[in-house]
């Protein structure tokens, strides 16, 4: 919904700035009320820049600057000390180097502005694409609200290689973040964030909100993402930088971390440099809404994929990945495109699961109390239990190569009964777990 922001610029005069986002406009209008009050009290006086060559006067106390130039007459330069407000209401694209004053307010219009922040606690309100914010010093800091782009397909640019930038991305926002000194809050609506060149080890912090539908394209920048009550889509490129996605309490890299619960849905995929389908690296935890889809990268052992709800589909893309089912009717699929001698780890819990191992075998299947069906491939696989009482079906168990480890299983259960049922072998364990080996003649020697 289109709306506008009105700022008092003098005695009986106002400046109106159109906004494409009612959400950003509401925040900008709150800042405009404060500016207007200072104008009415003769504490702050506005000057206008509308033509090339104009000199901006030094303010008597505090100043405000309106940039009303048309195309061909942009403002490009340094804002003098004492100017607390910049209001863009023309059609020119302006380049404003902020003063060293803290608490500067910038209200961007439809022409577009590149704002270089030299100070602390700047507040910047932008019409989405065609704008840019640069943090000039390590001490620089800014809060940036970005709405839907008024320039079709052009992303707003945030340079966050130093300083501290907090970005509130509202519905329709399209932005590129370069650098790791940024926190991005995805607000309600549909937002797109491109993580550009930055640190592969120092992450950007990204937070979701209720009703947010955030799409992130990773182009070489690490991130820690807490989707919260929103939905998240991640598309990684061939650079294959590890990301961290989680909600609630988790242990990541040996460290206990916590964040608001992730109650939405996650889609995580990636592409190679030639456009082939790849996946993601790092730690990915799905949302409790279920139907999460995660594809690991084609780098062996690079991904930890943990489900979040029912109907999840987790896919390894190389050997050595860790896949864990959480909700019911989860499918864990091993790497089928490459026969790696490095096996993966597949873990189930108290809910039903369907598991396909890696093409190269050498996998570990840790099976919980929920019923599961497992298909191992190419042998050298180890089956063990982390729960009790499940009904487990194992396909393609290779006698003499695969093993079922009682000693690694919870409670070290013993074999109660073992016998053939047609071409299958059935086993009852002392913890009430039943195992059916389909098409295999299994003896006690396969249990260790």
Q: Tell me how far apart the alpha carbons of residues 200 and 279 are, in angstroms, rounded to a whole number.
A: 17
User: CA nearest 202: which of 254, 248, 244?
Assistant: 244
Q: Tell me how far apart the alpha carbons of residues 136 and 126 are, in angstroms, rounded to a whole number.
A: 19
- 397 close to 374: Cβ distance less than 8 angstroms: no
Predicted pLDDT at 73: 86
Predicted pLDDT at 119: 96
Q: Tell me how far apart the alpha carbons of residues 185 and 166 are, in angstroms, rounded to a whole number.
A: 8
pLDDT at 200 over 70: no
Q: Tell me how far apart the alpha carbons of residues 402 and 363 are, in angstroms, rounded to a whole number.
A: 10
Predicted pLDDT at 340: 81
- Annotated domain spans of the chain: 51-446
- pLDDT confidence tier of residue 55, bands split at 50, 70 and 90: confident
- 94 close to 67: Cβ distance less than 8 angstroms: yes
More confident residue, 219 or 313: 313
Predicted pLDDT at 198: 66
- 78 close to 56: Cβ distance less than 8 angstroms: no
DSSP 283-310: EEE--TT---EEEB-SSTT-EEEE--ST
In percent, how much of the chain has pLDDT > 70? 96
pLDDT at 295 over 90: yes
Q: SS3 string of 176-226?
A: EEECCCEEEEECCEEEEEEECCCCCCCCEEEEECCCEEEEEEECCCCEEEE
pLDDT at 197 over 70: no
Q: Report the chain's mean pLDDT, rounded to a whole number.
A: 92
Predicted pLDDT at 152: 53
pLDDT tens digits for range 369-399: 999 999 999 999 999 999 999 999 999 999 9
Residue owning tokens 């803290």: 102
- pLDDT confidence tier of residue 32, bands split at 50, 70 and 90: very high
- H/E element, 228: none
C-alpha dihedral sign at 435, 375, 367, 349: negative
Q: Tell me how far apart the alpha carbons of residues 92 and 65 are, in angstroms, rounded to a whole number.
A: 15
């Amino acid at each position: 919904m289109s709306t506008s922001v009105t700022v008092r610029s003098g005695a009986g005069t106002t400046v109106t700035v159109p906004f494409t986002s009612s959400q950003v406009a509401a925040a900008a209008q709150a800042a405009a009320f404060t500016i207007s009050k200072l104008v009415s009290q003769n504490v702050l006086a506005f000057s206008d820049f509308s033509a090339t060559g104009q000199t901006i006067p030094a303010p008597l106390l505090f100043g405000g600057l309106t940039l009303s130039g048309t195309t061909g007459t942009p403002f490009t330069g340094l804002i003098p000390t004492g100017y607390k407000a910049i209001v863009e209401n023309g059609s020119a694209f302006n380049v404003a180097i902020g003063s060293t004053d803290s608490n500067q307010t910038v209200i961007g219009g439809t022409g577009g502005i590149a704002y270089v922040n030299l100070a602390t606690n700047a507040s910047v309100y932008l019409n989405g694409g065609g704008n840019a914010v640069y943090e000039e010093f390590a001490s620089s800091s800014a809060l940036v609200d970005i709405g839907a782009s008024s320039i079709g397909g052009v992303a707003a640019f945030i340079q966050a290689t130093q300083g501290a930038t907090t970005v509130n991305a509202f519905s329709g926002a399209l932005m590129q973040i370069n650098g790791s000194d940024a926190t991005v809050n995805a607000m309600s609506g549909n937002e797109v964030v491109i993580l550009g060149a930055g640190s592969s080890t120092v992450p950007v912090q990204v937070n979701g909100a209720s009703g947010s539908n955030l799409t992130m394209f990773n182009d070489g920048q690490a991130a820690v993402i807490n989707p919260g009550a929103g939905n998240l889509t991640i598309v990684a490129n061939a650079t294959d930088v590890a990301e961290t996605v989680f909600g609630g309490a988790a242990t990541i890299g040996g460290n206990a971390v916590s964040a608001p619960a992730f109650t939405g849905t996650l889609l995580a995929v990636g592409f190679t440099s030639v456009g082939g389908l790849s996946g993601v690296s790092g730690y990915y935890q799905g949302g409790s809404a279920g139907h999460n889809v995660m594809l690991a990268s084609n780098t062996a052992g690079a991904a930890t994929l943990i489900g979040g709800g029912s109907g999840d589909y987790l896919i390894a893309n190389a050997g050595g990945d860790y896949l864990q089912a959480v909700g019911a009717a989860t499918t864990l699929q091993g790497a089928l495109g490459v026969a790696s001698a490095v096996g993966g780890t597949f873990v189930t819990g108290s809910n039903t699961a369907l598991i396909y191992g890696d093409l190269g075998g050498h996998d570990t299947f840790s099976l919980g109390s929920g019923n599961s069906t497992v298909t191992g491939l190419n042998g050298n696989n180890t089956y063990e239990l982390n729960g009790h009482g499940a009904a487990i079906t194992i396909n393609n168990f290779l006698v003499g190569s695969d093993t079922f480890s009682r000693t690694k299983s919870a409670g070290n259960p013993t074999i109660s009964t073992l016998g053939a049922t047609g071409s299958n072998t059935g086993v009852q364990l002392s913890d009430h777990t039943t195992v059916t080996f389909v098409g295999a003649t299994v003896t006690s020697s396969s249990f260790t």
